[in-house]
Amino acid sequence: MSVITAAADQTVCAPLSVLGRDVTVPLVTGGEVGYAALDYAASAPALQRVWDDVAAYAPYYGSVHRGAGYLSQLSTDLFENARRTVAAFLGCRQDDQVIFTRSTTDSLNLLARALPAGCQVFVFETEHHASLLPWQDAQVSYLDAPRSPRQAVETLERALAGRTVSAEGGHGPALVCVTGASNVTGELWPVRELAAAAHAHGARIVLDAAQLAPHHPVDVRDLDVDWVAFSGHKLYAPFGSGVLAGRADWLRAAEPYLAGGGASRKVTRRTDGGVDVEWHESAARHEAGSPNVIGAYSIAAACKALTEAGWESLVAREQHLVRTVREGLAEVPEVRILSLFGDDAPRVGVISFVVEGWNSSHFAAALSAEYGIGVRDGLFCAHPLVRTLLGSDPQAQGECGAPEAAPGEKSLNAIRVSFGAGTPDEHVERFVNAVRELVREGAKWRYRTEDGRCVPAV
């Protein structure tokens, strides 16, 4: 069974230039060190290219749509050109819509609001909360975590085959929501096969590409998905923007996501004192209010930068970093890497693990305070998945507790290291060496829990 696969080994390119690459941070043990940002899965640093493009446009900033002034017209052209750039980046079909949102979460909530009446939704419990939770007003079926790509497809096929039959004797509309790459394990999902299964049973599919788009090319037609959603802040673009792109019919038929200016084509008073509204049928229908032109432009700039850098070399370099981390952690017996599909599964630069004898919050705090390395600890807004991967056996409590743990789950949390196109080799090498040293020698400082976080004791 095929999945989205990584490029073969080749000459490894240099990391792309990102903001913050020269930032130094203090260590509790004294002195300073260059900050190793290894939390790309939460927010990737902005590409220097993106920042420069936005800075060049900033003096020309103006209102978008309907403004008569030169700067307004320039900003409107830039905003709509950004839409076309994103459509090309995603390989959209000619009649697809590209809607600018605030984030992946916002995009999927928008789509949830656009579901036809009676729509059944199928989603694996392994999803990030952004794609797990928006469907609660629909008839939703949560599918158990699969342990292989093949099992994922088979699980979906069984669920779709058992869909509820309508009173008319047929099946109503259905939607499958699936991630492209896990924000916990980094593993790539069999998107093409899941799309084929969905379509074979008369369902549509939306791809949560938040963790896939920064690491791999995403082509809507090649993957045969109906919609794709992603966030700018994970795609090396700042400013809190996102994208929902895909088929227009459900979006045109739905009430606007937000009611207001921009979404409305015509508003008139009625004789009874109310108002009649004619809504746009274009993407503007769901983009009420003044658009985030800088956010849209920053996403488009990131799309251009990644495309011009060349996906083949970007993927090859990232796989080099993935091997460095995984091989380094494999040399530490106390470390257990979390995985659904096994060691051989293709994956992006997202790796979660636990360390025997350590509370994960304590370990992450020591990496930051003693080595200048920023990682993430916790359940990563994917609580069902992380609980499944960790099982019911609690880890040792350690000196700091896990603030989000429920009673009886002393430290049911993990550590996540994530990286991408802007990560220098030195950062992942320092991380691997720090893990070895902490496990072998222990922390050099004392830590305590303060406001729910594990911090160095003063």
Catalytic residues: 381
Classify residue 415 as exposed, middle or buried by CB count within 10 Å of its CB (0-12, 13-18, 19+): buried
CA dist 169 and 273 (Å) reads 44
Instruction: Reduce the secondary structure of the chain to three states and give it as a string.
Output: CCCCCCCCCCCCCCCCCECCCCCEEECCCCCEEECEECECCCCCCCEHHHHHHHHHHHHHCCCCCCCCCHHHHHHHHHHHHHHHHHHHHCCCCCCCEEEEECCHHHHHHHHHHCCCCCCEEEEECCCCHHHHCCCCCCEEEEECCCCCHHHHHHHHHHHHHCCCCCCCCCCCCEEEEEECECCCCCEECCHHHHHHHHHHCCCEEEEECCCCCCCCCCCHHHHCCCEEEEEHHHCCCCCCCEEEEECCHHHHHCCCCCCCCCCEEEEEECCCCCEEEEECCCHHHHCCCCCCHHHHHHHHHHHHHHHHHCHHHHHHHHHHHHHHHHHHHHCCCCEEECCCCCCCCCECCEEEEEECCCCHHHHHHHHHHHHCEECEEECCCCHHHHHHHHCCCCCCCCCCCCCCCCCCCCCCCEEEEECCCCCCHHHHHHHHHHHHHHHHHCCCCCEEEECCEEEECC
CA dist 348 and 211 (Å) reads 8
With contact defined as beta carbons under 8 Å apart, do 200 and 261 qualify?
no
- Tokens found for residue 25: 């941070």
Question: Residue written as tokens 């004392």?
Answer: 446
CA dist 159 and 205 (Å) reads 14
